[in-house]
Chains A and B, each alone.
Chain A
Amino acid sequence: MTPRRRFLNMLWWLLGGLALAELIGLVIAFIKPGKAMQPLEGYGGLITCGQAADFPAGTVTAFQRGHFYLSRLENGGFLALSRKCTHLGCTVIWDEEKSRFECPCHASAFNLMGDVISKPAPRALDYYAVNIENSVVTVDTGKKMKRTRFSADQVTAS
């Protein structure tokens, strides 16, 4: 094969590869978890929870449409915990009497701060950023944050 023919052949392969890459890019653009499917309000957006004073210390309030629990710690700080168990993604339930989150699927349990108190869950519940402005509590459910265990810097002081 002459060098010129080899070069032209290579060019064909290159063009073919480029076309394939374009096709793959196109498919990815369509199946990528996009903003188009995210609702503007409700889960995935900014949730207004209410006046900070309405949440007594040591209580947990469920926000169904935000898919999270607003946890007010004993020191008055706020923590917005994802309701998804870190084991396989089931929805955890707050047990008022035992004062802990329980996963009905495989019996994991978490405390008020979201720390694991019973396996098989491998790490603490994910959490969302809490904002308090003019004593109104808002939670940004757009970005979920992962952690291994609870630490004080995750808490928003009131």
Chain B
Amino acid sequence: MKSKITPSVAGPLFKRIGQSVRRGSNRAGTSGDPGKYLPKTMLFHFRPRRVPEEAVRFTHTWGLGGMAFVLIMLLFGTGLLLKLVYKPFPDMAYDSILMIQHEIRFGLWVRNVHHWSANILVIILFLHMQRVFFTGGFHHPRQFNWVIGMVLFLLILASNFTGYLLPWDQLAYWAITISTGMLDYVPFLGGWLQAVIRGGTEIGPASLLLFFAVHTAVLPAGICMVGLFHFWRVRKAGGVVVPLVPDEEEAERRRTPVFPDLLLRELVVALVVVAFVLIFSAFINAPLDMKANPGLSPNPAKAPWFFIGFQELLLHVHPVFSVLVIPVLLLGGLLLVPYINYASNRGGIWFYSENGRRMGIYAVAAAVFYTAAGILGDAFFFDFTTALPMLPPVVGSGLLPAIIFTGAAPVFLMALKRRFSADSNEAVQSLYIFLMVMYVVLTITCLWFRGTDMALAWPWGK
């Protein structure tokens, strides 16, 4: 049997150790050329050697996936520090947060970085999802990676949700009470699910311990695993989505080396994100209310902001619809996005076509107008919960408004499709925009335009 013998390197000990770490660098003719040895190292094995030129353009992806990765790293780092001091018991949790903020050098700052990274991460992931959708990054061969991405998004939302309770202040306690309270409206399974999540009938010691364990062990491990899977599928799909070219032209596509063209751009984005979060956290403190008091509910009490759209929905339609039917349909629809029959599998172009772009503007305008009109109409003209006493509540305040609220989408879509003689890609895109904007408007309304007793109010009013 013949084996290739690599010549051993002579020289000082440190040099020899250094060369043994950088595997491959001792091969003849490669030393001093990072472009050649980088792909041989483990870290950069995630990357091809060269990528299409379009893929490195910043406005093609806006670096959102990379930003999310950087924020998750910041969260792991600061989370580990916080975990060294935090005590997950109701009589100690709030005091340990105070101790982190007042007694530990930079403790306040570290908590701020953790808090803001987590909140910015949700926004960045939302934008990343929009980027992938609007550049058609969910078509073959990236179909399943869209689903993996959705799972990651849900894991991150769960992390934000479980982390929300840990400070054990009034804000945390009542936000989690309200959002788990929504489960009461889920028929059959709801009560059981609520009891499991709360670890009892009310938010208490069992809930805090469970949330802590899930937040600091189960979810981070899950995010690592699913995240690696996500990256691996990106690599296997040939990197980020770029416009398809005919097979014979594929070989002549202009390509650019990953090092330095892509890696340096990524490094810049990472440094800007880190700098922004660190500086922002130095000036703006994470909120901390009074210690949780189960006997004293604040007015108004609101769910965490990323779920607040459903709380707004709860004010307008029957609970079974706002906490079960609509969220399940929405989530199911999002998971099925890659598996709809499309007219064409065209990716890599923002908003698909000029037609798609124009339809999108109509969809945004319609969704804003329709949602705002619905909220204001419900508040001032016609209250479904009391207007139709002769009908059973599930129909009168559930089915009927749900049909009116959600029925608008298909009607609007048909009209739009005919007006623009759109294909199925453009139609699905318009519907997607319509629903996304609707949820954003609901979120903004409940977050900033609801005051005492959850009545409509200006954000700047008392």
On A, residues with C-beta under 8 Å from B are 31-33, 37-38, 64, 67, 83-91, 103-107, 119-120, 122, 144
Contacts and interface: CB of A to CB of B under 8 A. Distances in A.
A37 B385 CA distance: 39
B400 interface: no
A37 B210 CA distance: 12
B385 A90 contact: no
Given A33-B196, A37-B200, A90-B178, A107 B453 contact: yes
23 contacts: A33-B195, A33-B199, A33-B201, A33-B206, A37-B200, A64-B295, A67-B202, A83-B295, A87-B181, A88-B181, A88-B182, A90-B181, A90-B301, A91-B294, A91-B297, A104-B299, A105-B174, A105-B178, A105-B299, A105-B300, A105-B301, A106-B300, A107-B455
Contacts of A107: 453-455
Nearest to A106: B454
Chain B, interface size: which category? 35 or more
Q: Which of B198, B294, B386 has the most CB of A within 10 A?
A: B294
Nearest to B297: A90
A120 B315 contact: yes
A80 B199 CA distance: 24
A64 B434 CA distance: 48
Given A88-B181, A104-B298, 6 more contacts: A31-B210, A33-B206, A64-B295, A87-B181, A88-B178, A107-B454
Contacts of A31: 196, 199, 210
A23 to B, nearest CB: 14
A32 B196 contact: yes
A9 B230 CA distance: 32
A106 B453 contact: yes
Given A37-B206, A67-B202, A89-B184, A105 B297 contact: yes
A120 B385 contact: yes
Nearest to B293: A91
Contact of A90 (B174, B184, B393): B174
Given A37-B200, A88-B178, A88-B182, A104 B297 contact: yes
A37 B199 contact: yes
Contacts, number: 75
Contacts of B301: 88, 90, 104-106
A67 to B, nearest CB: 7
Nearest to A83: B295
Contacts of A144: 201
Contacts of B443: none
Contacts of B196: 31-33
Interface in B101-139: none
B296 interface: yes
A46 to B, nearest CB: 16
A9 B178 CA distance: 48
Which 9 pairs of residues, A with B, have the shortest CB-CB distance?
Answer: A89-B181, A88-B181, A107-B453, A90-B297, A104-B299, A105-B301, A37-B206, A88-B178, A33-B200
Contacts of B401: none
B206 A119 contact: no
B298 A105 contact: yes
B141 interface: no
A62 B339 CA distance: 56
B297 A103 contact: yes
Nearest to A92: B297
Contacts of B160: none
